[in-house]
Amino acid sequence: MTAFGARLDTALDERGSLCVGIDPHAGLLDAWELPNDVDGLARFADLCVRAFASSAAVVKPQSAFFEVHGSAGVAVLERTVAACRDAGALVLLDVKRGDIGSTMAAYAQAYLDPASPLAADALTVSPYLGVGALTPVFDLVERHDAGAFVLAATSNPEGPQVQHARDSTGRLVAQVVVDEVAAHNAGAAELGSLGVVAGATIEAGVVDFSGLGGPILAPGVGAQGGTADSVRAVFGDALRHVLPSVSREVLRHGPDLAALRGAVARLVDEFDFLRA
């Protein structure tokens, strides 16, 4: 299989720079007039697959909203991941796992090993037990041509308490994360398969992404206040590799299938400048 970074680069050219979330939380199930149970979950996920898995470059199911329904909910997640991949989308499973040793290795196997029922193209991981603790993930990324997005500078207001702390050299912790991920991407023939997560609403200029060599997942677009202009300001020279991530800005149009598709198409057009 081709490396994830190369597959993502091609998908962004062919389908546009957008990652669309599948976030079936209770409030959205209610808004879509679906029951807050496994049946409602399955119907919600199926509508999302039908609406944008064949058009969006990347689809990002949020694992927690499936897990809350127990084993039956995880089974729906497995089917959703498989259906999105069958429709041609790359699947980024939003799990934000972060642990050490054999536990981290087990998480990596669960989400990146092609033999796993939950195998996705990529997953989100947390580096705040140390970026080195993610080595089992990085190993499987290379072995299985998968991808991983490492939390670096997140859009939540609590993030800077940790991410803006400084190491012994004076670098922000967020910058340390970006720099260590960049070191793993060094030598990649095309776009590296390791990316970072950095909010579209963070302060411009605080973190330098220019040497990353990999993709940037940028949540916070739309409902959280992020815009095309803020993406330009925050990411500067790294714009070509930015992947704006939207959930509520699309899902609020459901359960109308045409409206969901239209919202995705409008956002793809809005961020067309990223691949110019």
Distance from C-alpha of 181 to C-alpha of 178, rounded to nearest angstrom: 5
Distance from C-alpha of 197 to C-alpha of 212, rounded to nearest angstrom: 12
- Find out whether the peptide bond into 157 is cis, omega within 30 degrees of 0: no
Residues 6+ apart with CB under 8 A from 202: 153, 154, 155, 234
Q: Are the beta carbons of 58 and 18 closer than 8 angstroms?
A: yes
Catalytic site residue from 43, 96, 171, 240? 96
Is residue 46 within a helix (H) or strand (E), and if so which, with residue range?
A: helix 38-52
Q: Are the beta carbons of 239 and 274 closer than 8 angstroms?
A: yes
Q: Are the beta carbons of 273 and 228 closer than 8 angstroms?
A: yes
Q: Are the beta carbons of 134 and 145 closer than 8 angstroms?
A: no
Displacement of CA 170 from its chain's centroid (Å): 29
Distance from C-alpha of 12 to C-alpha of 207, rounded to nearest angstrom: 24
Displacement of CA 121 from its chain's centroid (Å): 10
| Rounded to 5°, angle at Cα 127 from 121 and 128 | 150
60 is annotated as an active-site residue: no
Is residue 84 within a helix (H) or strand (E), and if so which, with residue range?
A: helix 70-86
Residues identified as active-site: 96
